[in-house]
Amino acid sequence: MRAEVSADLASNGQIVDQNLVGKWISPMHPEIIKDVPGQCEICGMDLVPAESLGYASASDMQANPPLVIPATAALLTGKRAVVYVEQSATERPTYIGREVVLGPRAGDSYVVESGLSEGELVVVSGNFKIDSALQIQAKPSMMNPEGGGTGGGHDHGSR
């Protein structure tokens, strides 16, 4: 597609914070973060490893930590959600609509339960314009999932 869309891209982040790996946190006051074990300055409780509170990812934790995307990246239609993923192996910016399964919304973010991999770039704004552009080109899009025109094979971005 033509790259007429000015889209802001953001790598989808993890809920886990790599900056907290190896740190110690107060279970009652998460703002208390230390490099070494000790006690919370507010309540005196023993600090616990950040990993144990789910703030950070340790190597022995779950293999697939949750991914989050900005809420603006998800196009919702009923139970379906579509995000536009930038294709990395193309010369010009190319975005493929992909159906994803969203988990709970947390503030301005959604947890992505499946359909997206860590490190993939998603369009966080301007995706409605992309969807319109795809309709114009009779390619599969959220508003017209089966595409139009010749009705050829489904190249919907699934693998």
Asked if 28 interacts with Zn ion (CB under 5 A), we say yes
Query: Would you say 40 or 130 has its CB closer to Zn ion?
Result: 40
Query: Would you say 24 or 84 has its CB closer to Zn ion?
Result: 24
**Distances in whole angstroms, Cα of residue 25 to Cα of each of 15, 19, 137, 141:** 16, 12, 52, 45
Asked if 129 interacts with Zn ion (CB under 5 A), we say no
Binding segment for Zn ion (CB under 5 A), chosen from 23-31, 63-71, 78-86, 107-115, is 23-31
Alpha helices in 58-149 (DSSP H): 127-136
Q: Can you tell me which of 19, 30, 37, 43 binds Zn ion, judged by CB under 5 A? A: 43
Count residues contacting Zn ion (CB under 5 A)?
6
Asked if 47 interacts with Zn ion (CB under 5 A), we say no
Q: How far apart are CA 102 and CA 71, in angstroms?
A: 10
Asked if 26 interacts with Zn ion (CB under 5 A), we say yes
Query: Would you say 45 or 61 has its CB closer to Zn ion?
Result: 45
Asked if 29 interacts with Zn ion (CB under 5 A), we say yes
Q: In what order do the strands lie in the sheet with 48-49?
A: 33-34, 24-25, 48-49
- Closest contact distance (angstroms) between CB of 109 and Zn ion is 27
Binding segment for Zn ion (CB under 5 A), chosen from 6-14, 20-28, 108-116, 137-145, is 20-28
Encoding tokens for residue 111?
A: 């947890």
Residue pair 24/49 in contact (Cβ under 8 Å)? The answer is yes
- In terms of Cβ atoms closer than 10 Å to its own Cβ (0-12, 13-18, 19+), residue 129 is middle
Q: How far apart are CA 137 and CA 37, in angstroms?
A: 59
Encoding tokens for residue 52?
A: 């144990």
Query: Would you say 45 or 136 has its CB closer to Zn ion?
Result: 45
Encoding tokens for residue 133?
A: 């552009």
Asked if 40 interacts with Zn ion (CB under 5 A), we say yes
**Binding-site ranges for Zn ion (CB under 5 A):** 26, 28-29, 40, 42-43
